[in-house]
Amino acid sequence: MATNAFRSLWAEPRPTNAPDQGPRDWALVAVLICGSVLEALLREDMAPLPLLLIAALAVVVPLPWRRAHPLATAAVAFGTVTAVDVVRVLTDSQGALPTGVSATLVIAYALFRWGSGREAASGLGVILLWLAVTCVAESSSVAETVAGYAFFLFAATLGAAIRYRAKVRVRDIDQARARERELLARELHDTVAHHVSGIAIQAQAGRAVAASHPERAIEALAAIEDAATRTLTELRAIVGVLRAPQVTGLAPQPGVAEVERLATDGRTRPCVDVTLSGEFDDLSPAVGAAIYRLAQESITNARRHARHATRVTVAVTGDADQVRLTIDDDGSATGGRAPAGYGLVGMRERASLLGGTFHAGPAAERGWRVEAVLPRAGTPR
């Protein structure tokens, strides 16, 4: 397991959203260089000037490239400072390095924040080597050595933690986008399929009676116009929500009251009858919208697949705890239904997300029955 974890970390790619160099990076370089120069001029307990300049420039100058080239930046900075400390040990040079060298903490952070797994592991080796050498060069006590390791390990851990948090956030955003795409696909399917099925049926009926009953053909054209207008209205509402996500919560949603609009006037087949009974005043908006969409999709399926059907009955009943939706048609029992179709899958998911139940199948006597039971509050149990 440990080997697999190491391999996973080793194969970790670089983050793709690393920011470019900016004015703040160069301002940081300028401040650190000026501070190092002033420190070299004013302090007397410093290392020899050539070593000061080499260490300061090697650490500070690469800083703007720490995100684009984290391993190269760490190698230049820590490698140079390690070489400087080796020279100090060999020549027995006394004195401190400028505080600008503390920018190595920023480089250690950037290595684990923006580097790949291989870069982070390789850079960590360079950092640990430098820490070992500098402890010898500074003749550090045990407490100072532990503190030095703790500082740099904390910087590396902080970079890794923020990297993980950003990765989780990107994953959550992608999942949210996927859920929104599924919701959009479901809404488009429910809306467009329902109205287009009605348009197709009306067009077929109008063509059949155009020659013998022109007035009925005109009625069919009027029904087609009305269905097309409704389709365009709902599509525009969906597109409007997509273009203005900040006001999504204000977009009106269909509810139980709109289920009555799905009823037909009896001139088209199958005829749709809608019956509402019970209380719906304090019904959750999500449940109301689900009832409407389930009824709409069931009527669409009946029009498409219920052979010889003449009537579809929609009944919505609300009681103290739940709302029951039942849709029956009188089509042929051998209508070639497709129980695993996308429409039924979407309806079952919609009911399940609200803590309800869904069933669709042949009725006891004839036709097809769809039944959904949803809790009034719309909360999963």
d(CA 288, CA 378) in angstroms, rounded, equals: 9
pLDDT at residue 371 greater than cutoff 90:
yes
Which domains are present in the chain?
2-140 (no CATH), 258-381 (3.30.565.10)
Residue 324 in this model has a pLDDT that exceeds 90? yes
Q: Is the pLDDT reported for residue 48 higher than 60?
A: yes
Q: Is 104 exposed, middle or buried (0-12, 13-18, 19+ CB in 10 A)?
A: buried
Inform me whether the pLDDT recorded for 21 exceeds 50: yes
* 238 — pLDDT class (breaks 50, 70, 90): low
Contacts for 230 with CB less than 8 Å, ≥ 6 apart: 195
Is residue 100 within 8 A of residue 59, CB to CB? The reply is yes
- Pick from 236, 318, 306, 301: nearest CA to 262: 301
- Per the structure block, which two tokens stand in for 121? 């592991």
Residue 286 has pLDDT above 60, yes or no: yes
201 in Cβ contact with 358 (< 8 Å):
no
Q: Residue 133's pLDDT is what?
A: 85
Whether the pLDDT of residue 186 is over 80: the answer is no
**Residue 339, pLDDT above cutoff 50:** no
Q: In this structure, what DSSP letter does residue 12 have? A: P
Tell me which of 5-19, 66-80, 101-115, 273-287 is least confident: 5-19
Segment 197-209, tens digit of pLDDT: 777 777 777 777 7
| pLDDT, mean of residues 325-334 | 82
Total-model pTM = 0.52
Q: What is the mean pLDDT of residues 362-368?
A: 83
CA 73, distance to chain mean position in Å, is: 33
pLDDT at residue 170 is higher than 60: yes
